[in-house]
Amino acid sequence: MIVMPWFFDLLTNRESVAHSLLAIMLVSVAGLALGHIRFKGVSVGIAGVLFAGLAFAHFGMSVNHDVLHFLREFGLILFVFTIGIQVGPGFFASLRKTGLPLNVAAAAIVLLGVGLSVAQWRYFLGADEAGLRAAVGLMSGATTNTPSMAAGTAAFADVEARRAATTQRTIQTSSQTSTQSPTTSSTTPPAASPAASAEPHTAAANPRAGGVIGSAYAIAYPIGILGVLLTMIVIRIAFRIDIAREHRELAAGGTNPTLDVLNLELLNAALVGKAIRMIPTLGDSGVVITRLLRDRQVQVAGPDQVLQLGDVVTAVGPTKGLEDLEMIVGRRTAIDARAIGSDITVRRVLVSRAPSVGKNISELGLREKYGVQMTRVIRSGFELPVTALTRLQFGDRVVVVGESASMPAVIAELGDSPKALDRPLLIPILLGIAIGVIFGSIPIAIPGLPMPLKLGLAGGPLVVAIVLSRVNRIGPLIWYMPNSANMMLRELGIVLFLACVGLLSGESFISTFQAHGLQWVLVGAAITIVPVMAVGIIARAIFHMNYITLVGLLAGSMTDPPALAFAQGVTGSDAPTVSYATVYPLVMLLRVLAAQIVVLLLAAG
């Protein structure tokens, strides 16, 4: 068989961009196929791309390192930015109430893991820079956190660049001193030092700079997945967890309250002649009175509606708020105002009109303008209670109760255009990434650190995306991304990143594994299991945390989607997703910062 010259060139010209892209695509396809293979319900998932890259590189595939470094960083940016866009809207709200103890527990897992990694470096891995690289890689792999590996690699590159710059300045100073010395012949140039011509040892100049980190990450990653699953199983057995009872307790505790509807007959004489807004239990409870039945006539209930004895009111809101309202108003009744014929209708309206985005319910004034009531907001699949300060975001669906004649005006106010959700908002996204790159490059001087800290390409875009998605809109710019687009870009980003890391680390992976494999597996297992087991046992035994919430917390503390899938399977529901999403943003940021701080303290000190 004769191979055409152009095809032979494509396969062998390792410095061409076309060859590099072909190699990365082949690695990605093979890795994704590997990630779909399951063994007893568990798979390596997206990490299969990393293992495929290691294998391809080990068997001789070489790729242009400039292309690899660019695609690695670009993939990482896409990954963390899309994560920030998705979790940002609920991040700050999650820090309140039940979110605070969850984030404290997750932060404790992170800090325990960091402390254990440093101890392993000092006493088992060799207290030198090579051991530190291994420790950073093991810490990232054992916690299945790819951005922390990228942050640690970038921090080492900064340290090496600073050393090279310092060496260069020292040589220049010595050269100038030698030239000015009277004992030095003016006709004899100073001897060239090997260091004088040394290039800064950046990651780009030294392609294998991150090889040890990548190899350690790959070795520890499977242990990171299995260790969390093992912890969930051990806690369930040790505490004799009854999943059905945990579900009942979770529902009763209102960790993720559902919205109900209740019809109440007014029997409290103290409320007669007073407006609905004066009922004590309303306000911030999230309960909205939507209809009022009087003399067989149904009308939309507004805050200024005056109550009379025997009125039947229909209320929507969290179960706890409805129970409090019942104690004040009167008693439940079988009469349902919704079943009585009237001109009142219910519509679900999509928020897609830019002027309405970012406004709260009070600022919109739909009740005052059109005589309608907004009863709930549906966001990312969850129903949220409505208060005057509830702020609408692009893509929300709101439930509106009002007369049929008012609905066209409400729809025109909010937009209700599904096509708007499918239209890509590229300018805000690209501008957000640019701001994230700038923000991540800002040096932050912290007392005690020998070098300024940078959030880098892992932390900068993540923080900016969280903030921008929470703000949601600035002037004509709306930071919104459809879930399908978000998942597509996120998966593309992490696939590119892992493929490049595997190709960069694969050449020396086998020799590294033969030299340190067993030791690194044990160290990685300790970094994974000890923190999650300790915090998990304390959370359950002392603070009596619900098991369904706990397994979501453990998966989120490792930013580990396979562990979340396992938690959902163990509990038979999607409820662990709530605590997973609650701790995910903080954990991601802490792990990115921790990797950099460890490197700057121990390598640059």
Hey, where are the domains in the chain?
257-416
Cα distance between residue 201 and residue 272, in whole Å: 79
The proportion of the chain whose per-residue pLDDT surpasses 70, expressed as a percent, equals: 89
* Residue in this structure with the two tokens 């207290």, named with its chain if needed: 127
Q: How many whole angstroms separate alpha carbon 560 and alpha carbon 118? A: 22
Give the whole-angstrom CA distance, residue 228 versus residue 251: 25
Query: CB 343: neighbour CB atoms within 10 A?
Result: 12
CA 110 from chain center: how many Å? 15
CA atoms within 13 A on the CB side of 179: 7
pLDDT digits (tens, 9 = 90+) for 263-311: 999 999 899 999 988 888 787 778 889 899 998 888 888 888 899 999 9
- Residue 426 reports pLDDT greater than 50: yes
At 438, list the tokens: 């700038």
State the Cα–Cα distance between residues 221 and 471, nearest whole angstrom: 35
Residue 259: strand pairing partners: 318
Bridge partners of 400, per DSSP, are: 347, 374
User: In whole angstroms, what is the distance from residue 387 CA to residue 360 CA?
Assistant: 9
- Interacting residues of 394 by C-beta distance below 8 A, sequence separation 6+: 351, 352, 354, 357, 472, 473, 478, 480
Q: What is the pTM of this model?
A: 0.72
Average pLDDT over residues 321-350: 88
Given a cut of 50, whether residue 437 has pLDDT beyond it is yes
Position 195 pLDDT exceeds 50:
no
For residues 496 and 514, what is the distance between their CA atoms, to the nearest angstrom?
A: 27
- Residue 592 token pair: 């990115």
**Per-residue pLDDT, 182:** 54
Q: Whole-angstrom Cα distance, residue 239 to residue 241?
A: 5
**In the predicted model, what is the mean pLDDT of residues 11-28?**
86
Cα-based distances in Å from 44 to 325, 527, 562, 573: 50, 19, 8, 22
More confident call, 340 vs 88: 340
* Residue 181: predicted pLDDT: 56
E strand residue ranges, 465-600? 473-474, 477-478
C-alpha 571, offset from chain centre: 22
According to DSSP, residue 2 is labeled P
The H or E element spanning position 155 is helix 146-180
Amino acid at 466: I
CA distance 146 to 496: 12
SS3 383: strand
> What does each C-alpha distance from 501 to 34, 208, 368, 604 come to in angstroms?
17, 10, 58, 24
- Taking residues 581-599, report their average pLDDT: 87
Identify the pLDDT of residue 42. 62
Please tell me the predicted confidence (pLDDT) of residue 184: 47
User: Which residues are bridge partners to 330 per DSSP?
Assistant: 266
Tokens read off for 195 = 């260091």
CA 127 to chain centre: 33
Residue 71, Ramachandran bin (φ over 0: left; ψ between -120 and 50: alpha; else beta) = alpha
- Is residue 534 over pLDDT 60? yes
Q: Give the pLDDT mean for 482-505.
A: 85
> Coil, strand or helix: which one is 64?
coil
The architecture in CATH of the region 257-416 reads 2-Layer Sandwich (3.30)
Distance, in Å, from the CA atom of 365 to the CA atom of 372, rounded to the nearest integer, reads: 9
Q: What is the mean pLDDT of residues 517-529?
A: 92
Q: Which amino acid is at 406?
A: S
Q: Which residue has the higher pLDDT, 33 or 458?
A: 33
Q: What SS3 string covers 413-435?
A: HHECCHHHHHCCCHHHHHHHHHH
| CA 349 – CA 395 distance, rounded (Å) | 10
**Mean pLDDT within 47-61:** 85
The closest of 163, 10, 140 to 501, measured between CA atoms, is 140
Average of per-residue pLDDT values in the chain: 83
Q: Which two tokens stand for residue 204?
A: 């780009």
What pLDDT score does 527 carry?
95
pLDDT at position 105:
95
Q: What is the pLDDT of residues 71-121, one digit of tens each?
A: 988 998 998 898 888 777 766 666 665 678 999 999 999 999 999 999 999
Provide CB contacts within 8 A for 123, sequence distance 6+: none
Helix, strand, coil distribution of the chain in percent, nearest 5 = 65, 10, 25
Residue with tokens 């190899």: 215
CA–CA separation, 473 and 461 (whole Å): 17
Is 438's pLDDT higher than 60? yes
In DSSP terms, 383 is beta-bridged to: 378
